[in-house]
Structure 1
Amino acid sequence: MKIAVMGAGAVGCYYGGMLARAGHEVVLIGRLEHVMAISNEGLRLQTQTFDERIGVAASTHASAAHGAELVLFCVKSTDTEAAACELEPHLSDTTLVLTLQNGVENAERLRTILRQPVAAAVVYVATEMAGPGHVRHHGRGELVIEPSEKSEAVAQMLTAAHVPTTISTNVRGELWAKLVLNCAYNALSAITQMPYGQLAHLPGVAASMNDVVAECLAVAQADGVVIPGDVNAAVRGIAETMPSQYSSTAQDLARGKHSEIDHLNGLVVRRGDALGVPVTANRLLHTIVKAIERKHERDARR
């Protein structure tokens, strides 16, 4: 299968690399520094069980997705519409676009732009870009995807590539379950610049996370979302399964970039305000991260 990865950062490079390693034709579409490194030396995929360089095509242009049967859409939530507009002219009507993004609204946003079928995916992986063309995997890697005409074949393909994948008829609830994890960890990891394992053992952090989670669950209930599983247990488990991982928000702030916080705690704040649900803890975390972003902008202009 020919597969294009739109947004070849840490998540896109990990899943694209795993599929290329399994023999699929993959093209990674990303930033110039990564594309040059991958084109010259291959993608370095460093996991907990192997460290290999994988030969894979790479490009800075969305046109490289031409002919792809599957697109892994991995751009930041802040770039969803712009990336979709770049990508759309180069896809066939039957290309499946699978969104591997943070947040709960990206599939709906894509469907307003793309004529191609879109399916949401919930991503549970700890990765980082350790350098140009070098992705480091810290743990997990499973996907939960939305039903579609191609989802069964895609799930089988991913599983065969050592990416455990299941299909859920309640993908909205699954996305919210992931959102709660992100709301609990991302901002706190970003503000402290600490990985999950260290963060979770700080005094007061567990209680603060409980407050954030309780607000998220109250908003979800008011919004008619049925979240599967034991969310509180899942939150506690993140620090154990991904102890060395810094949140994507922490990685963005460390590089002086804008984060996806508006689509994480910010989404909970917007929905809570609309539904009349108090969201004090999420509002505070959202406000602090936005203030840090503003400071970075001010410092960059000096």
Structure 2
Amino acid sequence: MKIAVMGAGAVGCYYGAMLALAGHEVVLIGRAGFAAEVTRNGLVLEKNGERLVARVAARCDPAAVAGAGLVMVCVKSGDTEDAGRQIAPHLAPGCTVLSLQNGVSNAETLAAILGRPVLPVVVYVASRMTDAGVVRHEGRGDLELAGDGSTDVASLLNAAGVETRVSSDVMASLWAKLVVNCAINPLSAMTGLPYGKMAEQDGMPELMQDIVREALTVARAEGVSVSSSVFETVRTIPVTMAGQHSSTAQDLARGRPTEIDFLNGEIVKRAEEHGLDVPLNRAMTLLVKSAERKRAEDGQTSIEERG
């Protein structure tokens, strides 16, 4: 099957590599520099001590989704609307579209733009780009999805070595992941510390639990039942992923926009709709956005100073 990945970052490249290595025709859509590097040398997947080269097509034109039977949208949440508009004219009539993104509203946003169902996917993977065209797998890699056709998609992915299960309540799982991300992502970003060292700071475990409580209050107001196991997840991630930095921290370090508006910012927005107060999530949102702004201003100053 031809499979297109819209948004060739760490998540898209990991799953694209796995599918290509399983024999599928994969096209990755990303930045021009990335596309040129992968065209020259292939997509390198570092996993389990091996360095595997996946032969994929790499393009910077969204029209490359044409003819794909499966399209995996892996762009940052803030780019969802643009990505949807870019690929909409080129999708095959029977194509299945997946949203492998953070947050809880991207599949709905895409569906409205594309005029077709979009399957929401919960992604549980630790991966990062170590160089242009090189993705390193650092943990897990399983997926959870729901919607029409999800059984067939799950079968395809499982056959490619990507553990995938069909969910009876994917929104609860998406919200559970959101709640966990709200507790760990901004704190890793603002401290500049990996999860393990971050959680060792006095009072930090308690702060993470309080952020979770706020977010769960909003989930309940939304009619979503999130398991209390999220508290245990927040406690264990700093142990099982001690050396990891959050994606928010990585974005800040690289001077890129973060997804904070779709993490803690999503909690703040929905809390306001229900007349709820979430001061900790509001503080996390404002602090990360302030750090983003400072990074942008520092970068602009550096450019101006260089003349």
Pair in the same fold by TM > 0.5 = yes
How many Å apart are 1:202 and its aligned residue? 2.1
**2:128–2:136 contact (8 Å) kept in structure 1:** yes
- Map Cα deviations across residues 18-55 of structure 1 (whole Å, 9 max, x no partner): 11111111100011121111111111111235221211
Q: 2: CA distance between counterparts of 1:47 and 1:4? A: 22
Decide whether the 8 Å contact of 2:80 with 2:110 is kept in 1. yes
TM-score (norm 2): 0.95
Q: Percent identity?
A: 51
Match of 2:203 in 1: 204
CA distances 1:176-227 after superposition (whole Å, capped 9, x unpaired) = 0010111011101111222222222222210110010000111111111112
CA distance in 2, matches of 1:21, 1:243: 30
Given that residues 93 and 116 in structure 1 are in contact (C-alpha distance below 8 angstroms), is that contact kept between their aligned partners in structure 2? no
Of 79-88 and 42-51, the range deviating more from structure 2: 42-51
Using structure 1 for the length normalisation, give the TM-score: 0.96
| C-alpha distance after superposition, 1:152-185 (max 9, x if no partner) | 1110111122211111131111110010111011
Alignment of 1:260-275 (within 5 A): 260-275=259-274
Which residue of structure 2 lines up, in the alignment, with residue 87 of structure 1? 87
Query: What runs of 5+ residues in structure 2 fail to find an aligned partner?
Result: 302-307
C-alpha change, 1:228 and 1:155, in structure 2 (3 Å) is farther
Unpaired runs of 5+ residues, structure 1, are none
CA distance in 2, matches of 1:107, 1:175: 11
Match of 2:66 in 1: 66
Q: AA paired with 2:72?
A: L
Whether the 8 Å contact between 1:138 and 1:244 is mirrored in structure 2 is no
Residues 1:70 and 1:77: Cα distance change in structure 2 (over 3 Å): same
- Contact 1:140/1:241 (<8 A) preserved: no
Which sits farther off after the overlay, 232-241 or 287-296?
Answer: 232-241
Task: Kindly indicate whether residue 186 of structure 2 is the aligned counterpart of residue 187 of structure 1.
Answer: yes
Q: Tell me the residue number matched to 2:305.
A: none
Residue identity in the other structure for 1:245: Q
Cα deviation for residue 113 of structure 1 reads 0.6
Inter-partner Cα distance in structure 1 for 2:196 and 2:20? 31
Counterpart position of 1:35:
35
SS in 2 for 1:3: strand
Q: What's the RMSD between the two structures over aligned residues?
A: 1.2
- Which residue in 2 is equivalent to 1:15? 15
Once structures 1 and 2 are overlaid, which stretch shifts more, 115-124 or 241-250?
Answer: 241-250
Report if the CA contact (8 A) 2:186-2:284 is conserved.
Answer: yes
CA contact (8 A) 1:67 1:92 kept: yes
Query: What is aligned with 1:295?
Result: 294
Q: Does 1:134 align with 2:134?
A: yes
Whole-angstrom distance in 2 between the partners of 1:36 and 1:203: 47
